[in-house]
Structure formats: structure tokens, C-alpha cells
A and B are shown apart, each in its own frame.
Chain A
Amino acid sequence: MARVLINLPRTARRGEVVEIRTLIQHVMETGYRPGADGVVAPRDIITGFTCVYNNEEVFAAELAPAIAANPFLSFSLVAAESGILAFTWTGDNGFEQTETRSLTVT
């Protein structure tokens, strides 16, 4: 399990634009970098990210080898109704991790 940081408000007014920040601790090994022994380290990156809000995908991103370690993503959405936000990171070697947060809309 990678360490994940997520920042979003616990509550929002209906129709309010909410900013969300996420960060996952990951090496983002490019697959091009030789190690001290001269052997190129195999690629190991996060390749995809989605945010699902009450079963609807509201944000997605594709990540590439040029993206720095510990990828930070910031995006916004409109608070429509109370519910669950599910954040999923997928990557090389079958990596997949999902975190959820609740948002109360008043």
C-alpha cells in the first residue's frame, strides 16, 4: 500500500465548486534510468487515476514516465449531492489502490 494524501472539504453547499488535491507516494521509475550497476531499472509508474463521485467518473488522468515521483493531482468538481468519492490509482505490475472520502452537501 502506498501512502496517499487527499484533501477535500468535508462539507460543501449544493452547486459549490470544490477543489480536490491528491498525492500518492510512488517512485515513478521511468524505465530509462541505469542503476549503479549499469542495469536499467524496469519501468514502474502510476499509469492512471480516476475519481468516481457516486458511481459516476468525474475526473480521470493518464500518467506517463516523464511525471515526477509522488504524483500530485489537483482538480475541481461541482458538489451536486452528498455521497462518496472514490479515488483509484492504477499502475505497472498490476498496481491498484482505491481510497474513499465522503462529502456532505447542504
Chain B
Amino acid sequence: MRRRALLGAALLAAPALAQAAPKVVVIGGGFGGATAARALHHLGVSVTLVEREATYLSCPFSNAVIAGLREMEAQRFGYEGLRREGIAVIHREARTVEGRQVVLADGATLPFDRLVMAPGISLRPDAIPGLDTEAMPHAWRAGPQTLLLRRQLEAMEDGGVVVLSAPANPYRCPPGPYERASLIAHYLKTQKPRSKLILLDEKDAFSKQKLFEEAWAALYPGLLEWVPLSAGGKVVEVDAAEQLVRTEFGEHRAAVASIIPPQAAGRIAQAAGLTDRSGWCPVDPVSFESRQRPGIHLIGDAIIAGAMPKSAFAANAQARVCAEAVAALLRGEAPAPPKLINTCYSLVEPGYGISIAGVYQPANGLLADVPGAGGTSALGAPAAVRAAEAGYAEDWFRTITADAFG
């Protein structure tokens, strides 16, 4: 049995290698996909990147746009850098994957020897009855929603109640809702000081919790209230017309509300049969190859990555590892077991940054924390450390966007 399986694999791989240089298609031009395309290209692999949008808007730092601390254009990145290097970039929507071909929205097909997908997330507003994302923007993908929420905050009268929600795990950017609450609280404190912010949470614990709570107690006492699951924080329904947010145990009338719905892997991952019952994509932690469809690799927010969070840094790290694995497999070699890093900075006010870091390696079929490594910034650290970390956050953003987009 075993020999036959190996023979089968060899027979499948051989013609592609013999006929022409192997082709790799990358779907999705975010932090994961763009990094993967560049890394594969640098490894000498022929790559085509498929991305629906002409430019990319970065989610990292988009909370600062909401709070009026940054302009949207600073979030925008193009694909000229990739094209200049000789990577083919196609701006069309990929509809699904049939056999060894990507099917585009217009019916055209792209054959591949291996496919890398970085499809990001899909949002599930239907999971919250009554939710109208125009009335209560999630702003969980940088773009029109980000600016809509910002305009709503700008139009709000002083003294209003801003209601935010944070979903249950897993979701994109675990500390994101708490950074958003912090920066909106900063906006209210400086511009509309009689206002209040309520953060309704479907969890009792969250990323960098002690650091956020330390900062909130110092910066936003009486302004920012966090309501955990065990205090009735789970949003079960909203009334968009009345601007009411209902939880399991009460309701809040919001002048402005931002409700972040539950999420799943990007739509095409579902269409291509790459998700499991959780809605996310199981992958091999060494090669990032789908456990459901051989020849297709997945990276970034869409995957089940064990201890590794859904972040731009994680997507970038996974992209580099995945590119090496794909190149190795195309050469007929086994990919080497990786170690991956994630670091995630959050701002709680301008000049006040906090971070969490982790190092990960494959263990028991998932990515697990390397024991003894990682952790958060120190509690009670002096202002100079917080200022340094805010600066490092900016440095990180410049570095990772340059790495992904050239």
C-alpha cells in the first residue's frame, strides 16, 4: 500500500517537472499572499498573483485611522513593486479551484502545479440578528467601513455612548478590538470628553489583557467600560433603526456602534472545499498544505494555526515558510520543519505601545508555542518603554509593508 502511494505521487509530479518550469499561483494579495509571491519569485519559482483589488489597504494601524490619528492613504499599498520584480499580477476575482486550475470570475482558468491561498477572512454579520453593517460598521477590513466609522464618531455629539463589540475566538487580530476601544477612548477624551465607551465582549479573557487594563485605568477611568462575557457582554441582537445593542442580559443605546461579527475563512476557501466544520482551514504545520486538498497551501488568517494568532506578522512569517516548503516540494524534497515568530504591537494612545510576541514550531499536527519564549511587555514599565514600543510599532509597519509589497 505504502509503495503504491509513493509511486502514485511520483507519477503525478514527474510530468509537470519534465515539461516546463513548475507554475505556482497565489490567490490573495494581502500580507500573506504578497509576501508568498515575492518569496517564491526570489526562490526562482514562476509565480502569478491573483488579487481582486488594484491596491491593498492595511488593517494594521487602521484603528488609528478610525480615531483620526492617521489618514487612509498611509494604509494603501500597490503591486508595482511585485510587477517590477517580474511577478505577474492579475486583478480579477478568483471564484473557485477545480482540479489543478484556478477559475476566475470571468471563467478564465489558471493552471498550477501548486497553489498558495491567502484568502483572509469572511465576515458573518448574519450571525447577529438585525445587524446592518452600514448602521453599525464592523470596520474589520480596512476600507470604506473604516472611514464610515470615523465619520460617525466625528458626527457624534459630545456626551454620546459609543458601543463596541468583540467576538468570541477565533477571529482576525485578537488584540484589535481592545486597541480600537483604546484609540476611540483617546479620541473621546480629547475631543468629546463627556462621552462614554462600552466594550461588550463575548470572552472573559483577551490578548494583552493586563496591559490594556493597566492603561485603561491610568488613561480612561470612567470613560471606557469593558463588559466581559460573565458580566453579560455577549451581543445577541441589534436594532439598527433604534441604535440598540442587546446582550443576553440587557440592552445599550448607542450614539455610535461598531459591531464586529463572527468570522470564517475567506469565501473562496469555502468554495474550494478547504474549510472544515469550524469554518477555518486545517493545514499541515510544516508545509502549510491543506489537509483536505493536496497541492493547495494555505496561509494567514484563514488557517487553523494552533497557538499562532491571526495577524499580519503571522501571515508574513507563514508565507516565507510556505514558499520554502513549496519550492522544496517542487524539487521533490521534503520541507524542513520551521520555527515561526509573531510580534503584535497595539497602541493605547499616541506614544504608548504594548506588545505580545511568540515563537512557534510544529507539534502534534499544529503550531505550538516554543516553551520559555514569547510573552507580553512588562506591566508597570516606565513611559520611555511604552514610547519606544510605539516607535517600534511604526518601524514594524514600515518593515512588514516593504517586505510584502516591495
Contacts and interface: CB of A to CB of B under 8 A. Distances in A.
The short answer to whether A and B are in direct contact, CB under 8 Å, is yes
Nearest to B248: A21
A69 B250 contact: no
A99 to B, nearest CB: 13
A2 B383 CA distance: 37
Contact of B249 (A23, A25, A69): A23
A70 B230 contact: yes
Nearest to B204: A70
A105 to B, nearest CB: 22
Nearest to A22: B249
Interface stretch (A3-11, A44-52, A76-84): A3-11
Interface string A21-35: 101010000000000
Contact of B231 (A3, A6, A21, A69): A3
Contacts of B250: 7
B204 A72 contact: no
B204 A23 contact: no
A69 to B, nearest CB: 7
B248 A70 contact: no
Interface string B225-236: 000011110000
Interface in B231-261: 231-232, 248-250
A23 B248 CA distance: 9
Contacts of B248: 5, 7, 21, 23, 72
Contacts of B229: 70
B234 to A, nearest CB: 9
A17 B250 CA distance: 19
Nearest to A72: B248
Interface residues of B, number: 8
Contacts of A3: 230-231
B209 to A, nearest CB: 16
Contacts of A23: 230, 232, 248-249
Contacts of B232: 5, 7, 23
Contacts of A69: 204, 230
Given A25-B230, A69-B230, A70-B229, A6 B249 contact: yes
A32 B248 CA distance: 31
Nearest to A70: B230
Interface in B279-326: none
Contacts of B204: 69-70
B396 to A, nearest CB: 33
Interface in A31-86: 69-70, 72
A11 B248 CA distance: 18
Interface in B70-91: none
Nearest to B247: A7
B230 A21 contact: no
Interface in B187-243: 204, 229-232
B251 to A, nearest CB: 10
A3 B204 CA distance: 14
B233 to A, nearest CB: 10
A23 B229 CA distance: 10
A72 B204 CA distance: 13
Interface string B354-380: 000000000000000000000000000
Interface of B: 204, 229-232, 248-250
5 contacts: A6-B249, A7-B249, A21-B248, A25-B231, A70-B204
Given A3-B230, A5-B231, A7-B232, 19 more contacts: A3-B231, A5-B248, A5-B249, A6-B249, A7-B248, A7-B250, A21-B248, A21-B249, A23-B230, A23-B232, A23-B248, A23-B249, A25-B230, A69-B204, A69-B230, A70-B204, A70-B229, A70-B230, A72-B248
